[in-house]
A and B are shown apart, each in its own frame.
Chain A
Amino acid sequence: MTADALLSAEGITVRFGGVVALDGVSLAVPERSIVGLVGPNGAGKTTLFGVLSGLVRPRGGRVVLRGVDVTGASPPRRSRLGLARTFQRIELFTELTVREHLVVAHRAHERRDRRFLADLVGLGSRPPPREREVVDDLLEVLALTELADRPAALLPLGTGRLVEVARALATEPAVVLLDEPTSGLDAAEAERLAAALQQTRADLGVAFVLVEHNVDFVLGLAEHVTVLDFGKVIAGGTPAAIRADEAVQAAYLGTSTGAGAV
């Protein structure tokens, strides 16, 4: 089922001490798609992102990115293969400006981060040819142009999330994992983010995986939604199917029977 997927996880299992955080979870992300990942707190969404991006080592299962088995690969290697992510608890570079976030990400992508000797003699500050263009475009798309030269640490949380999205996109990825991108954003900003995501998908052909608590945001944007609960996939399908699914209603949307063990 996942042979043609851009990114796929099969049978991922993660244990923390005695707790099973993920139990045989599979996920497929086709090219140019937007896939939603929802579930109550503690369902294992962020852990799955950790496994996909290489920060958490799974006990079992495998991760395939663009046809390459990357289960044991380091985060930088996955980045070079076209994977990028944002973080639920924001991970900005506190000493850098907004523009520098994009610049360092783009240069790492272009493998300019290894020109130690060029830096030493003072040639390192000259930007590579496409950098200005790529960075300016992304700032524009995410409406960060006015703030480009401000230190990211001084920005409010919501804007910080946009900087994380922009930083991820600056690595020119094929797929971006977004961990709760709308938390801390007001309604107008969430709308603007949705528009920006669709625009980048249309322009650059980037696929997105969204972990979200804002259910309307996900169901409005994604073509396919996977629902996790207690480390297991309990449902998967189109947004319409998910809305109708009873197990999901019970476990997550919290209607009649309350939060349940499935």
Chain B
Amino acid sequence: MNALIVAGLVLGSIYAISALGLVLTYSASRVFNFAHGAIAYFVAVFYYWLHTRHGWSVPAAAFVSIGVVSPLLGLFLWAALFRRLAHTPPVVRFVSTVGLWVAVPALVKVIFPWTRNEIFEPEGLIEGEPRVFDVFGVAINANQLVVLIGAAVVAVGLTVLIRYTALGLSIRATVDSPRVAGIAGVNTSVVTASSWMIGTTLAGLAGVLLTPILGLADIQFTLLLVASLGAVVIARMTSLPLAFGGALLIGLAQEVSRQWLPDSGVFAKGFRPSLPFIAMLVFLLAYQGLRGERFEVEARATRQDRPEAPAPPPLRGWRAAIGPLVVAVALFTVPLWLSEFWVGVVSQGMGLAILFLTFTVVTGEGGMVSLCQMTLAGIGGFTAAKLATDSGWPLALALLAGAVVAVPVGMLVAGLSLRLGGLYLALATLAFSQLVENLVFAREDFDNFGTGVEIGRPEFFGIDFDDAAPFYLLLVVVFCVMALLVLNLRRGTSGLVFASMRSSEPASATIGISVVRAKMIAFAASAFIAGLGGGLYSIAIGRAAPASFGLIVGIVWLAIVVTWGVRSVVGALIAGIIFVVAPQLVSLYLTEGWADVPTMLFGLGAIALAREPRGVLFDVVNQHRLRRLRRQTRRDERARRAAPVPA
């Protein structure tokens, strides 16, 4: 028991260091850094590289990686990215740091190729076998002691910094109101830059401390640091003491609960990683009850000083038909000019393209960042596979059932957090996805030792879709139908309502739009598409497997869709195909060293293009039309002003 408490305090201390960094940077800049764990991973690998691979001494390696590289990284990221994000729409803010979360681990693998196959024996800040101390009759090893001392130093240091130093005063002023602080002579750039430097340093410290406990596998690593999000939610994003206490509690609960858990089964494996997310959902529910908070907080946080460029009006007449016609011809003739192998690959891409329309609806139209669309897709995929394979339902019916089941689940998650605002929605969807991944998808009857549930090809109207080409064409038809429905939605009143909501929630509400209702509708529609797409994608790859619908996969999906245009159905199409085709091309024609380059590019693309939600395509197609539109508007405005004032 004592050993568990010590282990829990140690784990909680690491969460606390990480959570303090998150809270500090969010408070100072209103940018929530989803890449916090990824940065920790980068620093931990860097430390390993210096210490273990190059034989640097512990103090030297620790000083350079935590004390020099981490803050410099923070400064660089602030200058290159975070600084620009403060006044952008919330979606842009979330997607940019999610892009970073995707890009950094891939970047690490590209820079340090040995991380792919090295068998790590990572050390923390203690060299060799750690000594064991006896503290009041409790055995604590040196590594654990370092963590506890580190957390205490960080907590005291931050408190002193915030309470008693000039920088701390400036930080507090900036947290309250950046504008007023600026007027009062606080250099808010210095303040936000310093908080980012402190934030990344804390991330780096947490990363290095975590290494001996966890090893250096990127996925576990980023996930475990994501766990400190539980503490951040308990702190309501802004309270440093609450974040610290919450993190300790979560760490303790994770370790102490070991003694009551069964020895095997999904619960034994899945409960502990789920704990932070259970805490998160519980507190979200509790905070939901506190009223009056939302509009004040959100209204201040979501001020957009740099709204996105307006869209030129849609093309009319024959011009409008060219684009869709070219795309349709290209899609339908694919089996004529590609080999059967590639038709199979592109089929998987088409399945994903259908699935990706879920982002077009929830993020593109609804203006929400959801991190559980892959989970909803998984729910659709598993439902369809179970019903079709185990219960013998007709495949079409099973697919439909998968889509229908995803809807109430999605609406429940959205309903829990929508009223609290966009950031809470992103965190609640993340928590939900982790709970389902750990406690449901991990069950033996779904996971099946990683192979998942098989699902066969359909047979409709006497046509056998077992062959590559007919199945591919079936997916193309489904994609076209779904894309048409999405376009209809956008062209109708719903599209106007969504656009209004994305620009200004207060203005939308005061002209009579129920913002919550509109968002729920967008979420429900996106859940349906995710469920259907998840089923079709599973058919394309032959099985519904947990690995296809994991968190890391999901954020890469979001990043690539944003790169190609989250507002465009063609963007979803291209994103789906590239997501499948790019790794195939790399593995067929390039060396292993290139394997992570596509993922890295998707992440970087999301960072670069988050400012233009209409993506690469929009930029290329519409730049000159937009310029012409500006000129015309200026001319009309002059004409209007010259007109006589009516008596």
Does B448 sit within 8 A of A, measured CB to CB? no
Q: Indicate if the CB atoms of A154 and B511 lie closer than 8 Å.
A: no
- Chain A 169-210, CB-CB to B under 8 Å as 1, else 0, gives 011000000000000000011011001000000000000000
For the complex, give the distance between the alpha carbons of A94 and B639 in Å. Answer: 22
Does B517 sit within 8 A of A, measured CB to CB? yes
Q: Indicate if the CB atoms of B640 and A153 lie closer than 8 Å.
A: no
Does B129 sit within 8 A of A, measured CB to CB? no
Q: Which of A94, A123, A124 has the most CB of B within 10 A?
A: A94
Does A215 sit within 8 A of B, measured CB to CB? no
Given contacts A108-B512, A146-B639, contact A188 B504 (CB under 8 A): no
Q: Indicate if the CB atoms of A143 and B640 lie closer than 8 Å.
A: yes
- Chain A 72-90, CB-CB to B under 8 Å as 1, else 0, gives 0011101110011101000
28 interchain pairs (CB within 8 A)? A56-B296, A76-B514, A84-B510, A92-B504, A92-B507, A95-B502, A100-B499, A104-B499, A112-B493, A113-B513, A114-B517, A116-B525, A118-B492, A119-B488, A119-B494, A120-B492, A121-B485, A123-B492, A143-B643, A147-B640, A149-B313, A151-B633, A154-B633, A159-B637, A188-B641, A192-B645, A192-B646, A195-B647
Q: How far is the CB of A157 from chain B (nearest CB, A)?
A: 11
Does A71 sit within 8 A of B, measured CB to CB? no
Q: How far is the CB of B54 from chain A (nearest CB, A)?
A: 52
Does B521 sit within 8 A of A, measured CB to CB? yes
Q: Which of B308, B309, B310, B485 has the most CB of A within 10 A?
A: B310
A87-B507, A109-B511, A154-B630 given. 6 additional CB < 8 A pairs? A54-B510, A76-B512, A80-B512, A116-B489, A119-B495, A151-B629
Q: Give B517's nearest chain A residue, CB to CB.
A: A114
Considering the complex, which residues of chain B in the window 491-547 have a beta carbon less than 8 Å from any beta carbon of chain A? 491-497, 499-500, 502-504, 506-514, 517-518, 521, 525
Q: Indicate if the CB atoms of A120 and B633 lie closer than 8 Å.
A: no
* Residues of chain B lying within 8 A (CB to CB) of residue A121: 485, 488
* Residues of chain A lying within 8 A (CB to CB) of residue B508: 93
Does B114 sit within 8 A of A, measured CB to CB? no
Does A37 sit within 8 A of B, measured CB to CB? no
Q: Indicate if the CB atoms of B503 and A55 lie closer than 8 Å.
A: no
For the complex, give the distance between the alpha carbons of A119 and B489 in Å. Answer: 5
Does A129 sit within 8 A of B, measured CB to CB? no
For the complex, give the distance between the alpha carbons of A170 and B291 in Å. Answer: 31
* Residues of chain B lying within 8 A (CB to CB) of residue A109: 511-512
Does B449 sit within 8 A of A, measured CB to CB? no
Given contacts A112-B493, A113-B493, contact A74 B310 (CB under 8 A): no
Q: Which of B312, B634, B636 has the most CB of A within 10 A?
A: B636
For the complex, give the distance between the alpha carbons of A99 and B142 in Å. Answer: 69
* Residues of chain B lying within 8 A (CB to CB) of residue A164: 507
Does B394 sit within 8 A of A, measured CB to CB? no
Q: List chain B positions with a Cβ less than 8 A from chain A.
A: 291-292, 295-296, 299, 304, 307-313, 485, 488-489, 491-497, 499-500, 502-504, 506-514, 517-518, 521, 525, 629-630, 632-634, 636-637, 639-641, 643, 645-647
Does A257 sit within 8 A of B, measured CB to CB? no
For the complex, give the distance between the alpha carbons of A234 and B614 in Å. Answer: 51
Q: List chain A positions with a Cβ less than 8 A from chain B.
A: 16, 53-57, 74-76, 78-80, 83-85, 87, 91-97, 100, 103-105, 107-109, 111-116, 118-125, 143-144, 146-147, 149-156, 159, 164, 167-168, 170-171, 188-189, 191-192, 195
Q: Give B295's nearest chain A residue, CB to CB.
A: A55
Given contacts A113-B518, A159-B637, A167-B511, contact A124 B493 (CB under 8 A): yes
For the complex, give the distance between the alpha carbons of A105 and B310 in Å. Answer: 19
* Residues of chain A lying within 8 A (CB to CB) of residue B309: 153
For the complex, give the distance between the alpha carbons of A80 and B521 in Å. Answer: 21
Q: Indicate if the CB atoms of A108 and B310 lie closer than 8 Å.
A: no
Q: Indicate if the CB atoms of B513 and A76 lie closer than 8 Å.
A: yes
Q: Indicate if the CB atoms of A113 and B504 lie closer than 8 Å.
A: no
Q: How far is the CB of A2 from chain B (nearest CB, A)?
A: 22
* Residues of chain B lying within 8 A (CB to CB) of residue A167: 507, 511
Q: Indicate if the CB atoms of A146 and B499 lie closer than 8 Å.
A: no
For the complex, give the distance between the alpha carbons of A115 and B517 in Å. Answer: 12
Contact of B503 among A95, A146, A191 (CB under 8 A): A95
Given contacts A105-B511, A118-B492, A119-B493, contact A147 B633 (CB under 8 A): yes
Q: Give B500's nearest chain A residue, CB to CB.
A: A93
* Residues of chain A lying within 8 A (CB to CB) of residue B630: 154
For the complex, give the distance between the alpha carbons of A252 and B310 in Å. Answer: 40
* Residues of chain B lying within 8 A (CB to CB) of residue A78: 510
Q: Which of A100, A104, A107 has the most CB of B within 10 A?
A: A104
Contact of A75 among B491, B497, B510, B643 (CB under 8 A): B510
Q: How far is the CB of B90 from chain A (nearest CB, A)?
A: 14
Contact of B510 among A53, A97, A111, A123 (CB under 8 A): A53
Q: How far is the CB of B482 from chain A (nearest CB, A)?
A: 11
Q: Indicate if the CB atoms of B513 and A124 lie closer than 8 Å.
A: no
Q: How far is the CB of B12 from chain A (nearest CB, A)?
A: 32
* Residues of chain B lying within 8 A (CB to CB) of residue A57: 291-292
Q: Which of A83, A93, A149, A192 has the most CB of B within 10 A?
A: A93
For the complex, give the distance between the alpha carbons of A100 and B610 in Å. Answer: 25
* Residues of chain B lying within 8 A (CB to CB) of residue A85: 510
For the complex, give the distance between the alpha carbons of A85 and B508 in Å. Answer: 11
For the complex, give the distance between the alpha carbons of A38 and B311 in Å. Answer: 38
Q: Give B498's nearest chain A residue, CB to CB.
A: A95
Q: Indicate if the CB atoms of A150 and B636 lie closer than 8 Å.
A: yes
Q: How far is the CB of A74 from chain B (nearest CB, A)?
A: 7
Q: How far is the CB of B554 from chain A (nearest CB, A)?
A: 26
* Residues of chain A lying within 8 A (CB to CB) of residue B633: 147, 150-151, 154-155
* Residues of chain B lying within 8 A (CB to CB) of residue A124: 488-489, 491-495
Q: Indicate if the CB atoms of A154 and B629 lie closer than 8 Å.
A: yes
Contact of B485 among A54, A113, A120 (CB under 8 A): A120
Q: Which of B492, B493, B497 has the most CB of A within 10 A?
A: B493
Q: How far is the CB of B510 from chain A (nearest CB, A)?
A: 5
